[in-house]
Structure 1
């Protein structure tokens, strides 16, 4: 999907044709392009998010949704550069001279262009508020239901 040219995004129908095309062009490796970059981003992002949530929850002074929103904001704030690198590696992976995660991160740092390194920061924070509140409210509600702390209605 990321390989669709600008202006053609609505033309992509999410069909098997794109999957087949990617496989024919790049083989199995093309189907997993960016997987390593995704793992290198998601592990620290989730670690930061869950550690922050547990710390906020342990204070007992915040509702679950608020603690989840704040934890996700924190995680998104500290991992934005990794998300930028991950996205660039995934999009540029089909090019013959594509770079790995560390090379791409070093290139971004070397440019000194903080705007590029932090691109999408505002949107990630805005999305984090809603996503974090929902994620942790559902997580804690499910845990309580499974542990029998909430009576079914």
Structure 2
């Protein structure tokens, strides 16, 4: 039985796919550029031991800005833009899985849960190698204790190994392969899946839930896009809080070169206790808020612009 909803969801079969992908690339790039500084700060906070360099999100922001300038907030960004591929893979998988699940159930929560988790699985399989390289780039700039690669002027020392030049992305790729082989580019893959699949699976149902609840309280003439823009950050904060412990473990596994998710989790608990699991949470919520707003407004606008011509006048906006 079809659910009755105040906010009508634009489904895959309603879209002009050519427009959808053309506008989608621009939207994804805009989101990446907007939130990248917060992502970099979050990663540095999660990897540092205790509060050895930064005392919090805003302290990290101002220290990086003073010491490294605006460029410091965008270290590794060019490499990270390759995640545009995973972004397109994510939205395609999400929409196709929603369509598939709808043949068995019209329950929107179930469709969002399954589609969100599946989309994240596909995206992370593409994203993890890119993240590995970009995260090592993020670690450059301040501190000798923030990763496997120790920065000294223009040279870097790989832990327990000889000095190597570490100025370019190519050098990072060569070093990772030399140290760990091909599997080095998928270090932390399991941790990433354990972080982002639940995050995505939780975000979409909560997003639709919050939007629907807000629509019941708002005046009937209130634009649905405004309600959706409010629901996005609420869903992001909920999902970030639930999955942050695993995100801290993921960052440590990938940057410090650890091989065991369980051992990393135990070590983090032993060294920093429960509060170690909250490291980077404020930065994550801060980064997820604009991400959610830009993503929701962009994504819902993208779908509206990509509607098949005969359906344009059938959606309240």
Q: Which residue of 2 aligns with 1:5?
A: 150
Q: Which residue of 2 aligns with 1:127?
A: 287
Deviation by residue 1:111-149 (Cα, 9 ceiling, x = unmatched): 671221111111111112111111111111112222243
Partners of 2:295 and 2:206 lie apart in 1 by 14
Q: Which residue of 2 aligns with 1:41?
A: 195
* Pair 81,143 (structure 1): closer, same or farther in 2 beyond 3 Å: same
* Pair 15,91 (structure 1): closer, same or farther in 2 beyond 3 Å: closer
Deviation by residue 1:33-73 (Cα, 9 ceiling, x = unmatched): 11221111100011111111011122324622111111111
Matches within 5 A, 1:1-153: 1=136, 3-5=148-150, 13-59=167-213, 60=215, 61=218, 63-93=227-257, 98-109=258-269, 113-148=273-308, 149=312
**Post-superposition shift, 1:109?**
4.5
Greater gyration radius: 2
**Post-superposition shift, 1:105?**
2.7
Report the TM-score, using the length of structure 1 for normalisation: 0.80
Partners of 2:197 and 2:253 lie apart in 1 by 17
**Contact 2:148/2:255 (8 A) holds in 1:** yes
Q: Which residue of 1 aligns with 2:86?
A: none
Matched residue of 2:150: which SS?
Answer: coil
**Contact 2:211/2:230 (8 A) holds in 1:** no
**Contact 2:233/2:288 (8 A) holds in 1:** yes
Matched residue count:
145
* Pair 145,86 (structure 1): closer, same or farther in 2 beyond 3 Å: same
**Post-superposition shift, 1:92?**
2.5
Partners of 1:33 and 1:81 lie apart in 2 by 18
* Pair 42,52 (structure 1): closer, same or farther in 2 beyond 3 Å: same
Partners of 2:153 and 2:260 lie apart in 1 by 27
Q: Which runs of 5+ in 2 are unaligned?
A: 1-135, 137-146, 157-165, 219-225
